[in-house]
Amino acid sequence: MNPVLVPSRRLTAVPAQATLRPLQEARHFPKLMSGNRPLTAPSTNPLAGKAPLLVAMLLVVDSLHFVFARLLEEKQFPATAGAMYVLSVGTVEVALFLAWQRRIRWAVFRQHARFFLVVGFLVACSTAVNYTAVAYIDPGTASLLGQTSIVFALAFSLLWLRERLSRLEWAGAGLAVLGVFVISFQQGDYLRLGSLLVLGSAFMYALHAAVVKRHGGEMDFANFFLFRVLSTTAFLLIFTTAQKQWVWPAWPVWQIILLAGTSDVAVSRVLYYLVLRRLPMSFHAILLTLSPVITILWSLLLFGESPARQGLIGGAAVIAGVVVVTQGKRRA
């Protein structure tokens, strides 16, 4: 899914007795999901300090977002309904896990209902638009275009969240942004419907991340994540009903939905917020521009499609920018 962020502060310590077995697909997450700690509290969590490993895991699962959307499109399954079913599966998995651990706190939703409705609406729109876009654009190019969220993320982080970058980070960010523009505005592509849809989706996802970072930092992670995906699913249900796209999936489609819901929602989004809380919004947005490289490989393998040469050149510039920013962070 599109890269943007959440609070960059650390988590609270987790007592040994609170260590519980997690979701089968996410065995590294139990101490995060089983605790009742805020997003911004300090942490002695054993996952702390393992950001490189978490980023690598996130890049793999995050790269599959447009791939799953394209697989459903090839089955001629309605886009919004497909997004709704995928989010529903992920929501049910997260809810069952937290219910088993007796960690669901409905008071969190009641106290922050407006926040969750705004976030859920933005993510639902972004997801539905992405699932629609892959009918007009290949997953690799869509993923590269999705990196325009870096432009929006940098704008939000600098102008609204008042974050700062070092000179080396500015240089890396500039190079990455240049690569994004090379990808996004190549001749004959940026006016296509698929490209415009992805750009709109990137803006909405970046806005959701900025809202979460600004207003969601004091909620415990488990309930924040549950009500985030629950609100998103609720809006997708509304969108599906409004568009009259209610269709019961055949078993081959269900296989894609179950896999996508588990990896692209339950696992990917937990990793997403884990990493995002450890990195500043601007740095994390730039780092995740590596995800399209893996998406391109998936696209070549599964669909025999790849971006145009100019898109690949822009992708190389993005990766170079990521390397520069990473070095800047290490020096800082």
Q: Residues 6 or more apart from 214 whose CB is under 8 A from it?
A: 160, 161
Please tell me which of 30-39, 212-221, 283-292 the model is most confident about, judged by mean pLDDT.
Answer: 212-221
What average pLDDT does range 120-144 have in this prediction?
91
Confidence band, pLDDT 50/70/90 cuts, at residue 43: very low
Q: Residues 6 or more apart from 89 whose CB is under 8 A from it?
A: 257, 258, 260, 261, 262, 265
Answer whether 281's CB lies under 8 Å from 157's CB: yes
pLDDT(101) > 70: yes
Query: What pLDDT, on a 0 to 100 scale, did the predictor assign at position 184?
Result: 63
pTM recorded for the entire structure? 0.75
Phi and psi of 38, rounded to 5°?
A: -70, 165
What average pLDDT does range 124-148 have in this prediction?
88
220 beta partners: 38
Nearest-CA neighbor of 164 among 272, 283, 55? 283
What average pLDDT does range 285-301 have in this prediction?
79
Q: 94-108, 114-128, 132-146, 246-260: which range is least confident on average? A: 132-146
Mean pLDDT, the chain, whole residue set: 78
| Of residues 53 and 9, more confidently modeled | 53
- How far apart, in whole angstroms, are the C-alpha atoms of residue 306 and residue 288? 19
Confidence band, pLDDT 50/70/90 cuts, at residue 13: very low
CA dihedral 126, 216, 227, 22 (to 10 degrees): 100
Domain boundaries, the chain: 16-331
pLDDT tens-digit readout, 183-217: 666 555 444 677 789 889 989 998 988 888 778 76
Query: What pLDDT, on a 0 to 100 scale, did the predictor assign at position 262?
Result: 94
